[in-house]
């Protein structure tokens, strides 16, 4: 745990990446697996995670992200896109996955399936989208923590135009919406932010014990 906390102190929101340094295939695979293993409500994972490697696409996306240099300089750009059309079909697919993975009949999962449908499928569209977009942040958290363990820098970013990202990446047609993005790579030695002391609330100010 001490190592984990040390790595949390090491990480920061990198402002300038070293464009010459790329994440290895092995480390990239580890990061993807960490994202895949993220927790989510009901275990549904109502999102897709898009790794944008195309330099041409990333230049277009930079213009839709306030021109921030991290978009094109980082080794990888990751877009967490929430499902905007979740309903019975997605829940049925999840139930099938449970059945096949655990070797149990789908009939034994009917109660769980009906419960999820009663809570999710009946929600108004805007409430569904708010809920699924929140789930992407759980996956982002796993990426942040796994990357810190590997001494890979990640900058989570909300400073972008989701509608523009959706158009550039063709997400609307896939019933997806860019909820949050992250740039992943290695800090540049000239990034002065890495030398700033981490600023957080004190334990006394942050925690409440009842």
Whole-number pLDDT of residue 2 = 84
What's the rounded Cα separation, in Å, for the pair 175 and 119?
20
pLDDT at 201 over 80: yes
pLDDT at 202 over 80: yes
At 51-85, the pLDDT tens digits run 999 999 999 999 999 999 999 999 999 999 999 99
pLDDT at 22 over 80: yes
How much of the chain exceeds pLDDT 70, in percent?
100
At 154-195, the pLDDT tens digits run 999 999 999 999 999 999 999 999 999 999 999 999 999 999
What's the rounded Cα separation, in Å, for the pair 81 and 49?
6
Task: Decide: 182 and 78 in contact? Cβ < 8 Å.
Answer: yes
pLDDT at 1 over 70: no
The beta strand positions in the chain, using DSSP E, are 47-52, 76-83, 153-157, 176-185
Cα–Cα distances (Å) from 14 to 4, 5, 70, 119, 190, in that order, read: 19, 18, 8, 39, 11
Q: Does pTM surpass 0.85? A: yes
Whole-number pLDDT of residue 67 = 98
Task: Decide: 81 and 171 in contact? Cβ < 8 Å.
Answer: yes
Q: Which two tokens stand for residue 189?
A: 């030695």
At 2-17, the pLDDT tens digits run 899 999 999 999 999 9
Q: Which two tokens stand for residue 178?
A: 């860019």
Give the chain's mean pLDDT.
Answer: 97
What's the rounded Cα separation, in Å, for the pair 206 and 16?
30
How much of the chain exceeds pLDDT 90, in percent?
99
Cβ contacts of 34 within 8 Å, gap of 6 or more? 142, 143, 145, 146
What's the rounded Cα separation, in Å, for the pair 115 and 207?
34
Domains of the chain in sequence order = 25-85+126-187 (3.40.109.10)
């Amino acid at each position: 745990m001490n190592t984990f906390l040390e790595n949390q102190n090491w990480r920061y929101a990198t402002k300038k990446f070293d464009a010459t340094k790329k994440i290895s295939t092995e480390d990239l695979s580890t990061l993807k697996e960490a994202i895949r293993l993220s927790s989510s409500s009901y275990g549904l994972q109502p999102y897709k995670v898009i790794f944008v490697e195309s330099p041409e696409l990333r230049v277009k996306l930079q213009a839709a992200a306030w021109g921030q240099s991290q978009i094109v300089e980082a080794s990888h750009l990751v877009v967490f896109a929430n499902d905007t059309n979740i309903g019975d079909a997605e829940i049925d697919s999840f139930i099938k996955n449970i059945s096949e993975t655990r070797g149990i009949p789908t009939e034994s999962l009917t109660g769980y399936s009906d419960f999820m449908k009663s809570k999710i499928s009946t929600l108004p569209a805007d409430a569904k989208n708010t809920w699924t977009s929140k789930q992407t942040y759980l996956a982002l958290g796993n990426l942040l923590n796994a990357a810190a363990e590997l001494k890979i820098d990640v900058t989570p970013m909300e400073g972008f135009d989701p509608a523009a990202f959706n158009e550039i990446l063709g997400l609307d047609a896939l019933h997806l919406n860019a909820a949050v993005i992250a740039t992943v790579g290695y800090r540049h030695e000239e990034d002065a932010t890495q030398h700033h002391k981490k600023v957080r609330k004190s334990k006394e100010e942050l925690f409440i014990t009842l």
